[in-house]
Amino acid sequence: MSSASPLAQDPTGYNAAVFAESALSSPAALAAVLDHTLLKPDATRDQVLALCAEAAEHRFACAMVNPTWVSTAVHALEGTGVPVGVVIGFPLGATLSSSKRDEAVRVLKLGAHDVDMVLNIGLLKSGEVADYEAVKQDIRGVVELAHAQGAIVKVILETCLLTFEEKLRAAELALSAGADFLKTSTGFSTGGATVDDIQLLRGAAGIRAGVKASGGIRSLADARAMLFAGATRIGASASVKIIGELSGNSPAAPTSNGY
């Protein structure tokens, strides 16, 4: 398990309040749970380099980029200790499992550490036992490759497209496949993270895995709500603004990039 999950006397074995209060105790502590993200399709090299500079300055959990920018980000962050995160099968999750594995191999070779993959949403919603097994194997293929390289995998469920029962099914399939985190959203569909979904995913994960809230988190109030609901990682393009609010400085919000 890749999240620092405190124990408590509740059904999941996880105390969200303890984690949230720790994460909100200082700008540095909050930065350590924020994935600083730039995934818009028109992101330029200069914007990626600026993202990496901010990630290094504030010590964010990682700098999250699209696959084409992994080598650029790894080079920019060399020696800083800040890892590079990357999305694969993004944003639809409907690519071939072999394509996801190939993508994973390539980005891991380039130095990515956090791999955020989209599960096969259509297969999940098809509802057959064979389809569920295919979803699990789709995830497991990427997880095994990542873990062999000391990397972690966050599985994006795209909760806005799922029913309550499908969210639970997706969570259990991802956990059984070895996911390190359950993640709510790509930020490119019909909705993002909600408190209800974070609570649901934390209930499913317990202390087995982290929970990442992403999609529409643009303020300290948003981040606070997600942490107290059970998130242990937050994906946002507004990371600098969020920690600025906590420290009493609130820089202008960035242009939305899907997160």
pLDDT tens string 82-138:
999 999 999 999 999 999 999 999 999 999 999 999 999 999 999 999 999 999 999
> Is residue 251 a part of any domain in this protein?
no
The one-letter code for the residue type at 81 is G
So what's the pLDDT on residue 12?
63
34/254: higher pLDDT: 34
Angstrom distance (rounded) from CA 5 to CA 2: 9
Q: Reply yes or no on whether 180 is catalytic.
A: no
Which range of residues forms the domain containing residue 195?
16-245
Candidate list 183, 197, 222, 241, residue with the active-site label: 183
> Is residue 123 a part of any domain in this protein?
yes
> Is residue 11 a part of any domain in this protein?
no
Q: Reply yes or no on whether 109 is catalytic.
A: no
So what's the pLDDT on residue 249?
78
So what's the pLDDT on residue 251?
54
Of the chain, the percentage scoring pLDDT greater than 70 comes to 92
> Is residue 4 a part of any domain in this protein?
no
Torsion angle in degrees (nearest 10) through CA of 208, 230, 238, 170:
50
Q: Reply yes or no on whether 125 is catalytic.
A: no
Candidate list 35, 114, 116, 180, residue with the active-site label: 116
Q: Cβ(48)–Cβ(84) under 8 Å?
A: no
> Is residue 6 a part of any domain in this protein?
no
Cis? peptide before 11, omega within 30° of 0: no
Candidate list 100, 154, 167, 212, residue with the active-site label: 212
| Number of domains, the chain | 1
> Is residue 189 a part of any domain in this protein?
yes
Residue 211 phi/psi, 5-degree rounding, is -130, 125
> Is residue 152 a part of any domain in this protein?
yes
> Is residue 25 a part of any domain in this protein?
yes
pLDDT in tens, 44-80: 999 999 999 999 999 999 999 999 999 999 999 999 9
Residue 125: give its domain's CATH number: 3.20.20.70
